[in-house]
Chain A
Amino acid sequence: MNAAAHTQYDSIVIGGGHNGLVCATYLARGGHRVLVLEAADRLGGAAVTREFAPGFRVSACAHLLHLMPPPLMRELGLEAQGLKLAAAGLPTVALSEDAHHLSFGPGNLAALAERCAADAAALAEWQSLLKRFARALHPVLTGTPPRLGTVAWRDACALLGLGWRIRRLGRRDMRELLRIGGMCVHDLLEERFSLALLKGAVALDAVLGSNLGPRSPGTVLSLLYRVAASQGADSLTLPQGGLGALSEALARAARAAGAEVRTGSPVERILVSDDHVAGVVLCGGEEIAARTVISSADPKSTFLGLLGSEHLDAGFVRRVTQVRSRGLTAKLHLALDRLPQFRGLAEESLRGRLLVAPSADYVERAYNHAKYNEYSRAPMLEITIPTLADPGLAPAGRHVMSVIVQYAPYTLAAGWATQRTPFADLVIDTLGAYAPQLRDSIRAIELLAPPDIEREFRITGGHWHHAELALDQFLMVRPVPGAAQYQTPVPGLFLCGAGCHPGGGVMGLPGRNAARQVIREAA
């Protein structure tokens, strides 16, 4: 199929992950002739469902969909493209070693209130405060970051608009936002809550996917970001068929909009001619021309791998090299003979997400080890058993357990080659403290440590978010100043992946914002 040689494309999107597909959809709807090139044999990037043991399927990385704003999903028409949710509004169960677990969910704080009325009231107040902040910050957190020092009308408006929306919060809320914006979640938890289990659960949400601990300033921002990105919805949902089903729906939406999507087509190089992007070269040698190339690959792969530093000035290259993208999150997949029994938990409760984060201090201690390229003997875990709501993921009566493990550093002092098995065993033993017969029911294990994620999903550093989410890699400096509005120093080359604002998580906003930016610039 070599129609490409004769087809004229306006834009090429490198990478058929969720951001690439969203970007392509908007570009196609904007009238572009778009070609999406995905290196792997299937679309979705890290948002795929993989068969890790015969008959057992699991979402490869993220196992819950909760950050993609509902309005975006509606705009993309995902339901019409076949996306179904197996479950929504999942509760959270903070596991306790004494089996006295804490369960809470959207709009349901009854169990918490029974244990500690003050904490339930405080949590309700905190969630409503977060929603107010999220409303004020949403446009900035989800739109193109404004440039500083700019004379562009659009950017000035964005900045003023942000200031105005923050002021409209009212004096009290505004002061609180300015106060806690840069705070560490540990201190926030100390101020507001008393139950260790609750503090652990909130701390987990604040640090999941980041390279920080609860005592690191900036972790409250992560909480804000979660709520703001999803426009306050923040409902934990399970797509039927895993996250791969989302990617398939996104692919259908892209094709329905008119985009051409190719798999098994790894890009070797981005072509530049006369200081402007001219297209790409595939690994097979095929050249495809286009005046616009949008890469959803991580910034290092894009600039240092596909483009080549010879097209960039030394200062920019240095900045890109220094982008922090050290993977810190691993995934453990278990194929189970039967549904595990958790002490003190009814089967119904296993449908929610289970957390092993019994206190904020526990999370901090787990984080400590990561700083020295070690893993903790008491890791932090987020667990789902998706087969309860979505039995199609495993043979009848069997189950899948999907575990996000933090902190598992990309660079392990002892080396992952020798540590994969001990690490997997450690996680299983940790789970075993809550579900004693778990080990006996395991038929197959798959561990994806950051180096595996790097290799499988072509993400430098194996970091799920392409670049760490931290105050200094956020908003108008994400991934680097000079490339924080999806544009790059090379005319015609844009970024649209998780390494851009607003960041990682299965959100789709980088893709959409980048497409808008491209269309604006072409106009």
Chain B
Amino acid sequence: MSRGAANRYDAIVVGAGHNGLVNACYLARAGLKVLVLERNPYIGGAAVSRRLYDGFTYSNCSYVCSLLRTEIIRALELPAHGLQIIPYEGGCTMMRDGGHLAVYDNHDAMRREIARHSRPDAEAYDRYVRDMLRHCRFIKPLLLREPPDPTSFKPRDIQELLFLGRHFHKLGEARMYDTLRFFTMSCADMLEEYFESEIVKAHLSGSSIIGTALGPRSPGSAYVLLHHYMGSIDGAVGAWGFARGGMGAITQALAASFNASGGTLRSSAPVEQILVRNGRATGVVLAGGEEITAAVVVSNLDVKRTFLETVAPEHLPPEFLEQVRRFKIRGSSGKLNIALDGLPHFPSIPHDSPATRGDMHITDTLEMVERAYDDWKEGRWSRAPYVDMLIPTQIDPTMAPDGKHYMSVFVQYCPYRLADGEWTPERRQAFGDTVIDAIARHSPNFKDLILHTEIRTPRDIENEVGLTEGNIFQGELTFDQLLFNRPLPGYAQYRAPLRGMYMCGSSTHPGGGVMGAPGANSAHAILRDLGRL
């Protein structure tokens, strides 16, 4: 147990996920002496690159980048610290009848592709993109702002409420109604107001269900679609890209930036408890017994893990704990990471099409997506799952040996707990087989190319990454858990009920995805409280 000045910091950040690192970077840049503590021997949380099979690098959790705020990339000088995001071109949904819908970045090319399936839909596409961009523009300014507390009379909250009111009002009456409707609609209903063809609707609906306990027919899923749309690469809104070297490159760059600002990072340093005295956080104690003091303790863990496991209950109001227990954080996503001996052939995609270089899907009707959700509700993995597949090695050869490929397969839906019992290795394998069989139906040589498969259920994600129930957003993105409700009403401003303690993970506004906004907003709140702004 070492004490003394060496073990005293201005701020401790618990968890070196991307938000924790972003938070730590901002604090360090403001001149604080910051320590980041990570339980695992590697940093990154769910934004990691792992060498799990000889010669291959897996982005074994999150796998593509778009939502990372440009403001953060610039402020923390991440490109200078090695971050390179390559926009990917292409993508598709492969149809069961052998057809496909390809995805193009170029608007006109995309329009022509849609016209191949439906002429009216091609016209509607212009309107759709225009409306989506408008919704993105509406929501963007809200991402890097602390939500107001609508029950408070504090000047800051009133000011923020007025700001939000004015921001909304600026839309003009007609657009205000459109926005209200958009934010409360189901993705399916929203898409049905534009498009008639199933393939277009099915393709676009995928982003509305990622990481959720919702289906495309659930009200509020249109918002989730927007959530995934509002990123940008190099100013191209809605574009997605690969981080060169895998998603770990993001957190490595953040770590480098942090170190360059004088921060200290320790891995293999699990925090057992956050120390509290007289209602104030005073530091942490590690699993080995080592105590480290700091006046500011920031948790990157989700809100349940933070308050139900890392803080002794007697320090927290019982009502608060009840709210934390009620917070919904149900896992619904699975992941397969596959090492391939070569590039699989997808007969429905024309030779030389860029479609396979982006995200590929195999769910070709809204009904199929919705039925996949029905399975999850019954405590089963989807018999016909929605998959989001990528082979980043086509653009980033560093992730696999020459000629070989890494395929990332994100799956909806997969339950944290099965209706008929807990996950076993056999059941996990059966889940993996369901996914592989589904993909193989579109690629005859796929199975033969498989060298290694890592199959991850929400249970595995929870164990490895520390995300409760394997929910990738650290909490579901539903009306009751967004904005001033995120994570809890009254505690939506990054501050815990203990002085000096803060939250900076995706459990806070604006939520999940590799965005960095929670981390940045939280740092802002801390610095303001410290009078450093």
Contacts and interface: CB of A to CB of B under 8 A. Distances in A.
A212 B484 CA distance: 26
B218 interface: yes
B370 interface: yes
Interface string B201-237: 0000000000001100111100000000000000000
B377 A215 contact: yes
A481 B480 contact: no
Interface string A102-141: 0000000000000000000000000000000000000000
Contact of B479 (A174, A182, A212, A368): A182
A176 B489 CA distance: 8
Contacts of A324: 189
Contacts of B181: 472, 477, 481
Interface stretch (A21-29, A145-153, A514-522): A145-153
Given A150-B173, A364-B377, A178 B484 contact: yes
Interface in B154-183: 169, 171-174, 176-178, 180-182
Contacts of B218: 184, 215-217
Given A218-B184, A368-B374, A182 B484 contact: no
Contact of A181 (B172, B186, B479): B479
B490 interface: yes
A482 B174 CA distance: 8
A215 B218 CA distance: 8
Contact of B185 (A147, A178, A180, A472): A472
A476 interface: yes
Interface in A472-487: 472, 476-477, 481-482
Contacts of A167: 151
A233 B321 CA distance: 34
Contacts of A481: 173-174, 177-178, 181
Nearest to B175: A149
Contact of A178 (B150, B182, B377): B150
A176 B490 CA distance: 10
B180 A183 contact: no
B219 A218 contact: yes
Contacts of B326: 191
Contacts of B180: 148, 472, 476-477
B151 A472 contact: no
A148 B489 contact: no
A175 B151 contact: yes
A182 B176 contact: no
B306 interface: no
Nearest to A159: B165
B375 to A, nearest CB: 10
Nearest to B319: A172
A171 B157 CA distance: 14
Interface residues of B, number: 39
A194 interface: no
A178 B480 CA distance: 7
B152 to A, nearest CB: 8
In terms of DSSP, what is the predominant structure of the interface of chain B? helix
Contacts of A470: 184-185, 219
Contacts of B214: 217
A216 B218 CA distance: 5
A171 B151 contact: yes
Interface in B248-281: none
A482 B182 CA distance: 16
A217 B481 CA distance: 12
B177 A477 contact: yes
Interface residues of A, number: 37
Contacts of B193: 322
A154 interface: no
Most chain A beta-carbon contacts within 10 A, residue among B184, B328, B367, B490: B184
A212 B219 contact: yes
Nearest to A471: B184
A174 B173 CA distance: 27
B485 interface: yes
A159 to B, nearest CB: 10
Given A217-B219, A364-B377, A368-B374, A183 B177 contact: no
B478 interface: yes
A371 B217 contact: yes
Given A371-B370, A472-B181, A179 B151 contact: no
Contact of A476 (B177, B219, B374): B177
B184 A187 contact: no
A481 B181 CA distance: 10
Interface string B471-486: 0000000111000110
A164 interface: no
Given A175-B490, A178-B150, A477-B180, A216 B219 contact: yes
B219 A180 contact: no
A187 B480 CA distance: 10
B150 A180 contact: no
A167 B152 CA distance: 9
Contacts of A191: 326
Given A147-B173, A183-B478, A476-B177, A178 B485 contact: yes
B480 A149 contact: no
Interface string A359-394: 001001000100110000000000000000000000
Contacts of A178: 150, 484-485, 489
A477 B181 CA distance: 8
B370 A182 contact: no
A515 to B, nearest CB: 24
A172 to B, nearest CB: 9
Contacts of A212: 219
A211 to B, nearest CB: 9
Nearest to A149: B173
Interface string B351-377: 000000000000000010011001001
A148 B219 contact: no
A240 B244 CA distance: 75
Given A216-B218, A217-B220, A149 B172 contact: yes
A52 B173 CA distance: 48
Given A181-B479, A216-B219, A149 B169 contact: yes
B235 to A, nearest CB: 30
Contacts of A181: 479-480
Interface in A322-374: 322, 324, 361, 364, 368, 371-372
Given A175-B490, A182-B480, A371-B217, A187 B328 contact: yes
Contacts of B490: 171, 175
A182 B478 contact: yes
A472 B150 contact: no
B480 A472 contact: no
Nearest to A468: B189
Given A149-B176, A175-B489, A176-B489, A372 B480 contact: no
8 contacts: A147-B173, A176-B489, A178-B484, A217-B220, A322-B192, A368-B374, A371-B370, A372-B371
Interface of A: 147-150, 167, 171, 174-176, 178-184, 187, 191, 212, 215-218, 322, 324, 361, 364, 368, 371-372, 470-472, 476-477, 481-482
Given A149-B171, A372-B367, 14 more contacts: A148-B180, A179-B485, A181-B479, A182-B219, A182-B478, A182-B479, A187-B480, A191-B326, A217-B478, A371-B367, A371-B370, A470-B185, A470-B219, A481-B173
Q: Shortest 7 CB-CB distances between A and B: which pairs?
A: A182-B479, A471-B184, A481-B177, A149-B173, A175-B489, A472-B181, A183-B480
